[in-house]
Amino acid sequence: MDDQAKVFENFLKKRSLKLTRTRRLILEAVFRNHDHFDVDTLYDQIKTRHQNVSRATIYRTLPLLVQAGLLKQSLRCQDKDHYEHIYGHERHLHFLCTRCGNIIEIESGGIEKIIRVMAEEKDFKIMEYNIVMRGICANCRTGGE
């Protein structure tokens, strides 16, 4: 059992939930994606390998993974929530090209620190934050059709 599965199992145990076969399948599919995905993409991927995982169960399981700190709902795009796994990944933020739809990741750099200070000042306990920038990427701006 890999790390993520252990984390998930612990998380589940704490709330007397079970690490079932289906939940494991979903977990694996989530960690097979190394970029941002939406629920339907995941559903199709899972369906291709092992049939019979209901969309409902995916919708139920993703929030668990988020609470377990393994997954993040990082952006909303085309009216859908998009997720990415975060276990063992650096925090980063996203540029979203509004022309081609590409997502470019950027290391959080100095922002992290600033945010922490701001939160401190307002006596606000941050659980998570999200930074999304929209614009036109270099490719689209130059030639890119």
| Contact pick of 49, 50, 80, 134 for a second copy (by CB under 8 A) | 134
CA atoms of 78 and 41, how far apart (whole Å): 13
Determine, following the binding rule CB under 8 A, whether residue 80 of this chain makes contact with a second copy.
no
Q: Residue 1 binds which one of a second copy, DNA, Mn ion, none, with CB within 5 to 8 A depending on kind?
A: none
Q: Which residues contact 46 (CB under 8 A, 6 or more apart)?
A: 25, 26, 29, 53, 58
Phi, psi dihedrals of residue 44, rounded to the nearest 5°: -65, -40
C-beta separation of 96 from 77 below 8 A: yes
Determine, following the binding rule CB under 8 A, whether residue 59 of this chain makes contact with a second copy.
no
Among 21-29, 92-100, 101-109, 128-136, which window interacts with DNA (CB under 7 A)? 21-29
CA atoms of 91 and 100, how far apart (whole Å): 24
CA atoms of 55 and 35, how far apart (whole Å): 20
Residue count at the site for a second copy (CB under 8 A)? 31
C-beta separation of 55 from 39 below 8 A: yes
| Contact pick of 21, 99, 113, 116 for Zn ion (by CB under 5 A) | 99
> How many Cα atoms sit within 13 Å of 6 on the Cβ side?
3
Least distance from a second copy to the Cβ atom of residue 72, Å: 11
DSSP 8-state assignment for residue 74: E
Q: Residue 138 binds which one of a second copy, Zn ion, Mn ion, none, with CB within 5 to 8 A depending on kind?
A: a second copy
Instruction: Compare residues 56 and 138 and give the one whose CB is closer to a second copy.
Output: 138
Among 2-10, 55-63, 103-111, 129-137, which window interacts with Zn ion (CB under 5 A)? 129-137
Site residues, a second copy (CB under 8 A) = 76, 95, 97-98, 104, 106, 109-111, 114-115, 118-119, 122-138, 141
